Structure 1
Amino acid sequence: MLVGSVLFPFPFINDPVLSRARQGQENPYYVLKRYGSWRNVYYYEHSGASAYTKEEEVTVGVTTSNTKEVEHTAGVKLTATSEFSFIGASTTLSVVSTTTTSTSENTRKTTVRREYPAGPRRAEAIWYREDRFVLERLNGEHVLEWAVRNPDRVITDAYPAR
């Protein structure tokens, strides 16, 4: 779902296709769109036949692999806290997050660990809030996109509830 969009003047964007002169003439503004959704990162149905411990690793922070391209093209500095700011501008947009294990400066891994006892059947699902950012030229042409998963925005659902 589209959460919002904002226009940026071309001097803030290093377009990999258009020169500065062409940017000024053909594409004086770029549109940054933010789409929000809930991403299912964990699902397990426990039969109850025996006790079981399930562990699953989840990537949080920036979940796409094009961080350097984002920083160069969009002038956006991405961090592991899912916060980013526009280089050269006083505006800061942020999505706060916490996590456990750091794998790089802008992506972290966290482990979901659940113990299921023998006996009762149980189904459990976990969703994380994920924001996808899309940078487009004014005419709608795609330039760049990246995604950020926020571990502080989590929904856990289980049946039957404990």
Structure 2
Amino acid sequence: MEDRERFTLLRITGKYGGSVAIELDESGLSGIPDTSGELMVHNDFVAGLTRTYVEPYDLAPWEHVLDEVEAGRDSVWREHARVAAIGIQLVDREHDQDQITVTVADQQATRVAIGLEVNRGWIEEQREMLHGIREAWKHVHPTVLR
């Protein structure tokens, strides 16, 4: 069976382990991500994977979460949505790193929170991945991505 290409919307990885990621499947159009994929959470205590999906209209709220966290405020993406919500709390900001807590909660009352120490450029890395998904989708979903 051939491995499908993955498109990463977000990947927050701690300096000392642990990560949260959303990778989208490849659609029927080469080089274009599908709206379905996997949400993965991993640290020394827990490893979880669930199917998820991301619609084009989910991208602007994800960008808003990044803006809020960059400004030092806690924020939640897709809090009242049909899929797992992802919250980011900025616990501490030091010279070259941030200490954050990422919480993933779904509608079945499953909730996991992992603490991560991340290099200061982690928000810019998330913005680059977001930009990549927007660029890939811009010809398929142009009215939603304005």
Query: Which range, TM-score by smaller chain?
Result: under 0.3
Structure (1 or 2) with the greater helix fraction: 2
Structure (1 or 2) with the greater strand fraction: 1
TM-score by length of 1: 0.22
- Work out which structure has the larger RCO, using CA pairs closer than 8 Å and 6 or more positions apart in sequence: 1
